Structure 1
């Protein structure tokens, strides 16, 4: 079967690699000159930064992708665990360093923040374990079918409870709520519109930890590009997709700037609003907006950061170490949402992280610039209550022969979930 994949980001590359290994003839279409999407690199002087994510959860997803499309991940790149998920510096001056992959260590960290908070946090996360096991089996690892799913999973996806209400009920204390909500607020979601079961991210962080690639997560994209060549996927860069061509009620081709590409199936791994045939089916969804990014090249007496540091305030600032720098230097990326009344470096200094005298390189990227570069938001669909589950596409779509992967598809954004979306598409299409 001939499959045309739209989009050369992680979702598109992962889908193409899996489908090619299943014996399909695969063509991948990418509008820009390079593959990788948000898994890219920003360069200035002697410094580099990750263009998008700097770490990942659930490393088993990447390992499964590489193993089932050819050589194991370990033969391509090094994936190493982080000691901490992130460090939270709160407005009242208190600090919490959230350990990765350890229930006991997290309990101790919260107890140091204030007596009694350790038990409150672990009780909250423990309760999410059942949610995770139900949804992992029926929603994340196979195409969703309410007729086959465990009734408990059906009830959880249909629940009206929001993350905000669950956090208030289970955690109460404001700082604990900020820690649990951060994975969503940093991506532009309102916890009052995020379903409560998505709190399972905290369970995943505690159970499996966070992982990164020394030198930058862009290496994941580079390794996948090599995998596509090995699997003999035809890659058409610099080629814009216009729309799915439907004949006799199902997808028959993809209209592109290079002409029509015949297809037995089309995989949309970009924002579906870019393809008119799919856009009409997602009118009730909205994409999240990327944050503002400031990439800093630093030299001199630079504080040592080994994980994301969240400086809570108005607005929150997320400082990510990573990338590459000359000896004695460092490369940081600062992400924030909304407007600031002063330069971001001044805000960082007021909150106890002063690197103003260390800056040798600075690259600013606005939300509009990021969306234009990537052809949409890599953060996918904004959560708007439980209805987002059914309004979002993937792995199948209402158009026969068209499938959906990537951050705008089920199960959502972030490296592990985009990787899972590709696995779901491969299951839905099956072997050649």
Structure 2
């Protein structure tokens, strides 16, 4: 039985701790905030509630595998609900498209409604990622890897010079299709010229496996994992800051915290490695992806602009605004979250009103968070590492690190942000560490 210290109580840390405890290790989890969950936390004000971070997930099999391999099946703990529509895109020419998830035929029909013939172009683009997904899933996303010993097919994709910007320009004449395909990366703060083309396989994942949410909010997932840690007898130290690794002859033997040292045979870094000076030099060439401007809004009354809103609405332009529904609210009221990217030179609700969605007259409450607020609160970016070209993927840490006995999980250890990639990173750490 190894003594394992997991640094970070976000989704990556929770998932790593649950898996390693089930494998028979003695696990301690350290979190600097008073509560576990990280970006899965819930924001509340004046009777309204909002997800602080993600509002849905892809690849539900990752969640099911986590719960099955750490105890009871997911279905006994949480309800997963499939979304019919992932998001709606509204363009500057007043056209729009609602993108269904989980079926090729529904997406083909949706894009043909935007303009006849676009449906086939879209589904052909998505299908072009089939081989990328299978190769990277088998040799990279689901198997522990080391940069110098990647399978040839995996290395060929990771080292390709083709960017997503270049692929989309070559594939689509219609700018609207380019905007839809590039949106997940633009929303996370990336420049498409710096994103490798293979990363666009997210469109394939959405189409094939669908998008899923948890009734009541994704914070319910954090609650279920907290309960799972208690069942697995994980020692949880909240309001405790990890300061650094304690090394002896190049190996981690403890984690230094503001409450003293925690002896460890294995350490899992599930936070931005920059927060641990012993790991910071290994990620010096990477940069965090900066979160958007966020405004959680509570409104009351029958506002026509809110009729038939999808779970996520993308308003293209500069700034680009994203409206997310699904929060909880008192009777007769509605909870929404608005994200802003780009040249946001005015109040975000005023910018939203320019798109004929005016929430100001029914406004009851709002909670504003700047990118700096979010990074300082969480101690890092839940969006992981900024794409700065093809080399970025090899400059991350995880699942192993150059320090013996230290592993990495979480958003900073994955080739993409979001719950599926973070969940896969925790599974890789558990495989690399192995059973007690």
| TM > 0.5 | yes
Cα distance between partner residues in 2 of 1:256 and 1:387: 33
The question of 1:351 aligning with 2:355 is answered yes
Q: 1:392 aligns with which of 396, 413, 420?
A: 396
Equivalent of residue 426 in structure 1, options 419, 427, 430: 430
Q: Is the 8 A contact 2:103 2:208 kept in 1?
A: yes
- How far apart are residue 268 of structure 1 and its match? 0.3
- In structure 2, how many angstroms separate the alpha carbons of the residues matched to 1:239 and 1:412? 28
Q: Distance in 1 between matches of 2:344 and 2:393?
A: 33
Q: What is aligned with 2:88?
A: 87
Partner residue in 2 for 1:368 = 372
CA gap of 1:383–1:324, structure 2 versus 1, over 3 A, is same
Deviation, 1:340, is 2.0
Q: CA deviation at 1:144?
A: 2.0
- 2-structure distance, mates of 1:411, 1:355: 36
Q: Aligned pair 1:178/2:179, yes or no?
A: yes
Alpha-carbon distance in structure 2 between the residues aligned to 1:238 and 1:264: 23
SS in 1 for 2:72: coil
2:315 to 311, 315, 331: 311
- Is the counterpart of residue 405 in structure 1 residue 377 in structure 2? no
Provide Cα deviations, 1:292-315, integer angstroms capped at 9, x if missing partner: 100111211131323200011111
Q: How many residues align?
A: 432
Which residue in the other structure is 2:6 paired with? 5
Gap runs ≥5 in structure 1? none
Who is 1:169 aligned against?
170
Superposed counterparts of 1:178-327, under 5 Å: 178-302=179-303, 303=306, 304-327=308-331
| TM-aligned CA deviation for residue 281 of structure 1 | 0.5
8 Å contact kept, 1:85–1:100: yes
Name 1:114's counterpart in structure 2: 115
Which residue pairs with 1:140 in the alignment? 141
Structure 2 residue runs without a partner (length 5+): none
The alignment partner of 1:105 has SS state of helix
**SS in structure 2 of the partner of residue 165 of structure 1:** helix
TM-score between both structures, scaled by the size of structure 2: 0.97
CA offset digits 1:260-288 (Å, max 9, x no partner):
11100110000000000000100000001
Q: Hey, what's the Cα distance between the residues in 2 that align with 1:278 and 1:149?
A: 22
Compute the displacement of 1:342 (Å): 2.6
Cα distance in 2, alignment partners of residues 27 and 384 from structure 1: 34
Q: Residues 411 and 418 of structure 1 are in contact (CA less than 8 Å); yes or no, is this contact kept in structure 2?
A: no
1:411 and 1:420 in contact (8 A); partners too: no
CA distance in 2, matches of 1:265, 1:50: 32
CA–CA separation in structure 2 for the residues paired with 1:171 and 1:41: 39
1:327, distance to aligned residue in structure 2 (A): 2.0
Query: Quick check: 1:318–1:334 contact (8 Å CA) kept in 2?
Result: yes
Aligned residue for 1:251, secondary structure, equals strand
Distance in 2 between the 1:97 and 1:193 partners?
Answer: 27
Take 1:220 and 1:213, find their aligned partners in 2: how far apart are those partners?
8
Aligned-partner Cα distance in 2 for 1:388–1:162: 13
Distance 1:147 1:51 in 2: 37
> 1:341 and 1:425 mapped to 2: Cα distance?
43
More divergent stretch after superposition (113-122 vs 184-193) = 113-122
Would the aligned equivalents of 1:184 and 1:191 in 2 still touch at CA under 8 Å? yes
SS in 1 for 2:412: coil
Deviation at 1:289, TM superposition (A): 0.9
Name the stretch that deviates more: 149-158 or 241-250: 149-158
1:13·1:224 contact (CA, 8 Å) conserved in 2? yes
Report the TM-score when normalising by structure 1. 0.98
Matches within 5 A, 1:154-165: 154-165=155-166
Deviations 1:172-230 (A, max 9, x none): 31100000000000000111000100010000111111111111101111110110000
Residue 38 (structure 1) aligned with residue 39 (structure 2): yes
Shift of 1:361: 1.2
| RMSD across aligned positions (CA) | 1.2
Equivalent residue number for residue 64 of structure 1: 65
Find the aligned partners of 1:228 and 1:22 in 2 and give their Cα distance.
13
| Structure 1 Cα separation of the partners of residues 230 and 37 of structure 2 | 14
Q: Is the 8 A contact 1:406 1:412 kept in 2?
A: no
